[in-house]
Amino acid sequence: MKIRSFAVLIMMAAFALGAKAQTLTDTNSETNKSANSQTSAPAAKTGVVHDGTLEGAGTSTAPLGLALPLNLGGSVSVSGDSTVSGSVSAGSGIKASAASGSAIEATGGVGGGPFANVSGAGVKTTGGASSNGIGGAGVEAHGGAGFNGGAGVEGHGGDGLNGNFGGVGVVGFGGLNSGVGVSAFGGDNNTGFAAGIGLLVRGGQATGFRGGQGASITGGAVTGSGEGGVGLDLSGGDANGPGNISGAGLVVRAGTPFNGASRGFAALFADRVSMDTDLFVGGSVTIRGNVAKGSGSFKIDHPLDPENKYLSHSFVESPDMMNIYNGTTTTDAKGNATITLPDWFEALNQDFRYQLTVIGTFAQAIVAEEIKGNRFTVKTSAPNVKVSWQVTGIRHDAYASKHRIAVEERKPEGERGLYLHPDAFNQPESKGIEAANTPRQTERMNAAGEHAAPASQQ
């Protein structure tokens, strides 16, 4: 095991034990010494476990060889470069404990990092290799026990200087061949309460402009043929047994507004959204654009048997953007009646159509004057006749005029031979437009769920 970034390690160990290393004055004579001879050491060094030779001059270029484990007492401060090698048959390569404060505190050097303009890491660790199993974790951290247990890992990004961005608190990169960048597991709970959260993320606070994002997630790019990676793949927890419910894959809430602030949205989608199953909405829905659907209806508890039945009605469809208005009126002694419509009626509608039906007597009814000034007049062949009327109009408001519905259109090249509703034509699901357009995505999501299983076993 090698640990870098420790300078003059054996010198500091000797100081910690209250001893000074013997000064070596004749380098040539030291070189000529027999490799099997042991250098004499003061009695104060008996607490240092060393190898059989104590090779090396104790300098950064010729570090003093020591056998592991190396036990140091007291406070030790090490700077510069040094290499310590050795092995242990079992357990940890390094153990550190402190009565108070941090057991290990490390600061990376300026410059010399893995990329240009990137300084060295405070701690760099590599998990053990495995030729036929799972490699060792680079870092395995367990929070300390307490009334509330301590964090296993706590990462603080470096401060940004001169108005620049601060550093990332924790960065994780998965290993080559689909390694997981970060894997987090919430703690189990055997007391009947909720188990621990697998990953808890909170954006930073800001004194102005906008608080930090809780998480920023981007799917991996594909450089060859294929599709980019999914930004976020979520699955709720499993449940077992009657009466139990599996967990939701996603629960989203808007932040809480205080002191007169407005409530924001729970979620914002800046691009298309595809759903392969049912959507349940418990509140109202506002859609600014067009709605294209296979069918539409209302569904309510049945008025006569609300506990046991539902009642559904279909929408009234039209190839036009048609509005329907109706009502009843009664003609006067001369057989005339004027129906007054809302003041916005003609601003919204055009191309009017009329239906009149007399009620309670045999009489004729006609539209005596068509709509003008948001009113029209009917006339009956007899006085005091009740008339049921219906008027339809085609929208010609600004939005409708710019977004007319195409009643008939040819399918795009990529959708020809496919169906919106393949089951209606006794075709397999694979002939559906959605299934044909997203087969790799569906396969990839299924594969991601299967691939996640081994990670949970680590």
Cβ(287)–Cβ(296) under 8 Å? no
The answer, yes or no, to whether residue 424 has pLDDT greater than 60, is yes
Q: How confident is the model at residue 399 (pLDDT cuts 50, 70, 90)?
A: very high
Alpha helices in 349-411 (DSSP H): 398-402
Minimum mean pLDDT range among 73-77, 174-178, 339-343 = 73-77
- Tell me the CB-side half-sphere exposure of residue 225, using CA atoms within 13 A: 1
Tens digits of per-residue pLDDT, 435-447?
A: 776 655 555 555 5
Label residue 235 exposed, middle or buried (CB < 10 Å: 0-12, 13-18, 19+): middle
- For residue 389, the model assigns a pLDDT of 98
Cβ–Cβ under 8 Å, residues 184 and 199: yes
Structural domains in the chain plus CATH codes = 1-89 (no CATH), 322-402 (2.60.40), 414-451 (no CATH)
Structure confidence by residue, pLDDT tens digits, 363-382: 999 999 999 999 999 999 99
pTM over 0.85: no
For residues 349-357, average pLDDT = 98
Mean pLDDT of the chain: 77
The pLDDT value recorded for residue 24 is 35
